Amino acid sequence: MLVTEEPATLTENKLSCGRKIFLIASPLSLLFLLGGYFFCGAELAAWVDKLSPGCFFARATGLKCPGCGGTRALKALLEGDILRCLQFNAFWIPTIILLLWEYLKTLLQWRKISFSPLLESFNIYLLVTYAGLTVFWAIARNIFGW
């Protein structure tokens, strides 16, 4: 599926600064979350709850944005309650899948491994689906109260 080759001029792509940050910061964030959960989950959850200013968009308009419930979801995650975390904001599921996919893409790009045409097509379909899902989620959660 994966094709290792010298990248063609058109697809030659060095890792951008943002991608480098993503490559390093993602495992660190995960370690921070795991460390927080194992060593001081309750304290960290209380700290997150206390410091979060809440959603300004929801306050200003009364509508939910796609990220609304994110802080409560993070708090639930720190308390080890994954189901409650997803109940607060189910948009985390496709988002985490896509972030994992982007991380894999960044790793491959770093190792100068290019996608086969099939995986390239899959990548495009995945991105288009996620974009559609974002718009759907933003509208549907305000209609159905999700």
Q: Which residues bind other proteins (CB under 8 A)?
A: 9-14, 16, 18-19, 22, 53, 55-58, 65-68, 70, 91, 95, 98-99, 102, 120-121, 123-124, 127-128, 130-131, 134-135, 138
Residue 4 DSSP code? E
Of the pair 10, 83, the CB lying nearest other proteins is at 10
Smallest distance from other proteins to CB 10, Å: 6
Cβ–Cβ < 8 Å for 35, 78: no
C-beta of 31 vs 63, nearer to other proteins: 63
Residue 39 CB, nearest distance to other proteins (Å)? 24
Pairing of strands 2-4, 113-115: antiparallel
- Whether 32 and 48 have beta carbons less than 8 Å apart is answered as no
| Per-residue tokens: 112 | 């100068």
